């Protein structure tokens, strides 16, 4: 992985305690406040762990949409349920132990067979999931295709 295709920057600045503001490099994207939950923070925004889970769910949903559209498989608005497990490692440090994603693309019964093609490849297009998979187990289910 050496060919840079895109590069972006953002800033993260502490507001107070564990509350930070993320400023993106696009003027159309609003600033995002992040915070840890008690006892460290005040839950003023999503924690970095929640942002990671959101990024995985969002990227998988977008990748499934892309693959379905390329294959001519219509979807309803895609819904993703994301569950992240926070665990302690052998040194008692908190880590993301796994992420489960259930996608519901609302594919009509008449298109389920055709949807098997996109189902077999869409995860490979997910930039975020494939980037973290070596360190974090990511389990993906697609409603209507995987028997969900």
Residue 132 to residue 142: CA distance in whole angstroms = 20
pLDDT in tens, the chain (148 residues): 579 899 999 999 999 999 999 999 999 999 999 999 999 999 999 999 999 999 999 999 999 999 999 999 999 999 999 999 999 999 999 999 999 999 999 999 999 999 999 999 999 999 999 999 888 778 889 888 887 6
- Does one domain contain both 5 and 60? no
Q: Is the dihedral of CA 141, 142, 145, 148 positive or negative?
A: positive
- What residues make up the domain containing 81? 48-142
Mention every residue, 6+ apart, whose C-beta is less than 8 A from residue 117.
67, 71, 73
Mention every residue, 6+ apart, whose C-beta is less than 8 A from residue 105.
64, 65, 68, 75, 76, 78, 115, 142, 143, 144, 145
- Does one domain contain both 13 and 56? no
- Does one domain contain both 22 and 42? yes
pLDDT at res. 1: 54
- Does one domain contain both 74 and 13? no
- Does one domain contain both 39 and 60? no
Task: Report how many domains make up the chain.
Answer: 2
Mention every residue, 6+ apart, whose C-beta is less than 8 A from residue 12.
20, 21, 22, 23, 34
24 close to 10: Cβ distance less than 8 angstroms:
yes
- Does one domain contain both 56 and 28? no
């Amino acid at each position: 992985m050496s060919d840079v295709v895109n590069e972006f920057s953002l800033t993260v600045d502490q507001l107070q305690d564990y509350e930070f503001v993320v400023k993106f490099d696009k003027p159309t994207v609003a600033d995002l406040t992040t915070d840890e939950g008690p006892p460290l923070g005040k839950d003023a925004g999503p924690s970095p762990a929640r942002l990671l889970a959101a990024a995985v769910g969002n990227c998988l949903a977008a990748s499934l949409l892309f693959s379905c559209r390329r294959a001519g498989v219509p979807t309803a608005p895609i819904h993703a349920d994301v569950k992240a497990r926070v665990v302690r490692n052998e040194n008692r440090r908190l880590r993301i132990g796994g992420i489960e994603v259930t996608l519901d693309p609302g594919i009509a019964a008449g298109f389920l067979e055709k949807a098997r093609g996109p189902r077999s490849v869409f995860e490979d297009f997910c930039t975020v999931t494939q980037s973290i998979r070596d360190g974090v187990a990511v389990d993906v289910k697609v409603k209507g295709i995987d028997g969900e």
